[in-house]
Structure 1
Amino acid sequence: MATTTFRTSAIAGAVTLAVLASGLSLIASQAEAKKVVVLDDSERIEALTKLGKRIFFDPISKPKGEQSCSSCHDPATGWTGPSSDINKLEVAQPGAAFHKNPEARGGLRPPTNAYATLIPPFQEVVNPFTGDSVAVGGAFWDGRAEGDEPMYPGGATDHVYLADVIMGVTEDASPLTLFEQAVKDYLGPVADQALNPFPNPVEQNIREEAVCHHVEKAGYANLFADAWGERIKCNDDIYRTSFKRIAVALAAYQDSSEVNSFSSKRDNALRAELACMPLAEIQELPWADGLEEVEVKNILSRFGLVPDKLNGSCDQSDIDEKQGPLGQFPLVRLSEQENWGHDLFYSFRRVPVGAFDTCNKTVITADNPKSGARCVACHTNNRGDDGSEPLQTYADHSYHNIGTPVNYEIPGVVEAALGLAGHTGEEEDVGLVKTPTLRNVAKLPDNESGFVKAYPSNGWFKSLESLVHFYNTSDVGSSGVPLCDDEVVTEAQAMGEEDGLPACWPAPGNTNAVSIGGLTGNLGLSTCDEETIVAYLKTFSDQRIVELPAPNKKSK
């Protein structure tokens, strides 16, 4: 009996061990299946960009599903606010919790995020005109997402360092792998900015750790593993690293050719002419002066041209119709009105002799001079550019006060915003706002001709025509446009009856206006001149259609 019992127990033990071994084998095989396959660096960079896109369009918020990055940065409207009704009045976008808390909304119009990765980190540089030290760069209207070691820690957002997202690797490490270098390149104002909307109670209103868990459970969580070489981790001691990696992914997507597409009418017209030029001739253009051949090639590549195969995409008609040098204005594929708008835009004092004035149907001569609109003083990222630089962003990214009236239609607003001073704490910076890119400034949703966009940071102006008219005539009295009565505070109240433009201007919101005296206010432009400038600005609207990702499904 004892022998039988022993044998029975032995058999049972053997079965148990076999089952246990089988279970362990199954667990091991499952673990093996879950192992992350480390991709090559180019595939990791691609995965990082795809991850950023999925997160950008995913409504990660509290309450759930109420707000995504694209809720304030819609590609259909030039990567800014998507609601015409909001732009008509309060301009500030409602946050995820708005339905429960009406105070959960922003205080300014959301700036476009397109081409934001081309903005430099916040810094102080010497103004070439005055010799003064001026602030440049950073994300947000006040530059508080500095994109580097904070100059003003008390007012700046958190900063993403390379060592925060790639353990043991610092900015000065050398050599970096292809992936490490790409991540380093994505760090800056946009990556820093991306840390902020999620936990902001007036935006997405969701804790960083909850964002991490959302991505962990998302159907695209594999993209995180593909990019970073390990699955996302959200425990207490590591979720912050994962959150910063999410911010870098968002920056990677915003640096992609989908967001920075250089696909506007102006871009297409310029690209058509560059495609007909040998590389040696392109290197002689004003914007290429002082650049090495490899730098010129990199610019052309980002602009959508293959430097070694330029003539392969040349249309002979562009050469046949060209008057003047290829690759410079006037461009064949722009209208006379648009080219004249360019000439006014880029003329600091006088329009160059030989330009054709489409308003007066005459050629500008020394005996028949014409004052320029001086837009180029602030709206260029290259002081020597004549408008033909391929990667032009139409912004110097510095801070100015043009004398915009207070927008009392923004809920809770009783006075003008602090502007740069809210970041630096310096009284002399009160009212200064970062110059925005003009790319997509006129971009409207397809088939919505009545769509209203608002300008500038506080959205007081409801049309480009009104804003350009302000630049031309805001010096009340001397320009012929009077100061509004005290009770006239909105653009609608100031509007004239005949031409659809304001007939008076309210007082500036900040009394230190204007920080750029002589560049705005009494330019002497005709109504026709204003219209041509608007026509030129409309050539900056990107034409690439962004395919939205499928709705997120939880991973299994």
Structure 2
Amino acid sequence: MNVYLRIILLMGVIGSTVFLLSCTSGQDSGLNEKELLGKKLFFDDNLSEPVGQSCATCHTPEKGFADVYSRITSEGAVKGRFSNRNSMTCAYSSYVPPLHYNEEDETWVGGLFWDGRVNTLEEQAAQPFVNPLEMGNQDNKMITEKVRRADYYPELVKIYGVSTSVDSLFSYITDAIAAYERSDEMNPFSSKYDAWQAGECELTDQEQLGLDLFREKGLCAECHILEPDERAGKVLFTDHTYDNLGIPSNPDNPFFTVSAPYNLCGRDTMDMGLGSFLKDSAEFGKFRVPTLRNVALTAPYGHNGYFKTLEEIVHFYNVRDVADYPEPEYAATVNKDELGHLGLTLDEEAAIVAFMLTLTDGFQVR
């Protein structure tokens, strides 16, 4: 990586500092009672088995609500058990629509996680608690018992009332977490790009060139669209569709070392993404297009964390079909139309990266 790119990446990280402080400081963040309760649940590392892992371990503000250690895949509460996919940011996930098939565009849209397997934030919040590769609890009862012992339990009772039912109490827990995930704290729209759109600052020449390339020659905006989302009223930099980018299998994926029954195929594991969930071979190898907001913070990139830096993944988009990359993890459904041989120069790649660094939250207008 050249010196200039190191500098602009550092600027992106520095720009996130204010965002991080607003999410983790003890100061009033403007959250309502339910959102504050959800935040406490989200950051409570006593809710795993064994204790020590919270939702925020894999979705921490410092990393744009992705993995706290920027790992290829996240290690669960049980040491040595790694998830099979890179931790996708949960920021701005409140705007992802339910999974549905768009007849006009002939494509699947929406659904949470990389493979679209749930439709609501409440469903999303529920799954990691009992996933043996993540927070590792045996069942929902184990979680509710821990919450009953937590110092914030009276706050839950105040909001929802007393419940002796495991199912209802667990639904209160996921409802509160979802409320936090819908809050302005996790969806601040406070990047330099937002300030620029509001007329509060200017883009540098390189950032403006990057935006122009992002929109046109680089074809990035074909999926990371620049039209405002109807509900958010802001650009989300995703159309929520699914694509197979031709990313190779990642030989460094720690999930490959996880033993049975969690991994039955070892290094021969092949992730079929949306197609596995839908049981449809036409969708094999396709994964949801993530938002690019805070993308400078959420490395590594790709569903399997194959790319360590933004420079690497932008270069792959540009030259995949004319450079010496390993074969795709699943070749039959690879997108051959919108990436692979874009003809970008190295300076143009750097400009696109510079533009993407304007998407980091926490920007302050001087």
Q: Check whether TM > 0.5.
A: yes
Aligned partner of 2:219 in structure 1 is 374
Distance 1:518 1:526 in 2: 19
Counterpart check, 1:134 vs 2:107: yes
- TM-score normalised by length of structure 1: 0.55
CA deviations over 1:204-236 (Å, ceiling 9, x no partner): 1112112112222211112212322x12x3x4x
The within-5 A match list for 1:83-482 is: 83-84=69-70, 87=71, 91-98=72-79, 102=80, 104-128=81-105, 133-145=106-118, 147=119, 188=120, 190-206=121-137, 207-228=139-160, 230-231=161-162, 233=163, 235=164, 238-271=165-198, 273=199, 332-347=201-216, 372-380=217-225, 382=227, 391-411=234-254, 412=256, 413-443=267-297, 453-476=299-322, 481=323
Distance 1:390 1:266 in 2: 14
Q: What does the per-residue CA deviation read over 1:125-165, in whole Å, with 9 as the maximum and x for residues that have no partner?
A: 1354xxxx2111111100001x2xxxxxxxxxxxxxxxxxx
Larger radius of gyration: 1
Q: Which of 327, 344, 353 lines up with 1:534 in the alignment?
A: 353
Any idea what SS the aligned residue of 1:124 has? strand
The CA deviation string for residues 457-492 of structure 1, in whole angstroms up to 9 with x for no partner, is 11111110010011111113xxxx2xxxxxxxxxxx
CA distance in 1, matches of 2:325, 2:297: 26
CA distance in 2, matches of 1:343, 1:442: 19
Q: CA deviation at 1:123?
A: 0.7
Q: How many equivalent pairs are there? A: 320
Deviating runs (4+, > 6 A) in structure 1? Answer: none
SS at match of 2:185: coil
Q: State the distance in 2 between where 1:338 and 1:470 align.
A: 20
| Offset, 1:269 | 2.2
Please give the alpha-carbon distance, in whole angstroms, between the structure 2 residues aligned to 1:345 and 1:62: 41
SS of structure 2 residue aligned to 1:135: strand
Q: Secondary structure at the match of 1:196?
A: helix
Normalised to the residue count of structure 2, the TM-score between the two structures is 0.83
Paired with 1:245 and 1:134, the residues of 2 have a C-alpha distance of 34
**Aligned partner of 2:325 among 474, 480, 505:** 505
SS in 1 for 2:97: coil
Contact 2:249 2:329 in 1 (8 A): yes
* One-letter identity of the residue aligned with 2:239: D
**Residue by residue, what CA displacement relative to the aligned partner does 1:373-397 show, whole Å, maximum 9, x if unpaired?**
1111111274xx69xx951110111
- One-letter amino acid of the counterpart of residue 528, structure 1: D
Secondary structure of the structure 1 residue equivalent to 2:107 = strand
Structure 1: stretches of 5+ with no match in the other structure: 1-44, 148-187, 274-317, 319-331, 348-371, 445-452, 482-503, 546-556
SS at match of 2:268: coil
Superposition CA RMSD, Å? 2.0
Q: Is the 8 A contact 1:393 1:438 kept in 2?
A: yes
SS at match of 1:442: helix
Tell me, in whole angstroms, the C-alpha distance in 2 between the residues paired with 1:421 and 1:398. Answer: 13
Quickly say closer, same or farther: Cα 1:193–1:511, change in 2 above 3 A.
Answer: same
1:62 CA drift (Å) = 4.3
CA distance in 2: counterparts of 1:195 and 1:381, whole angstroms: 32
Mapping of residues 473-492 of structure 1, within 5 Å: 473-476=319-322, 481=323
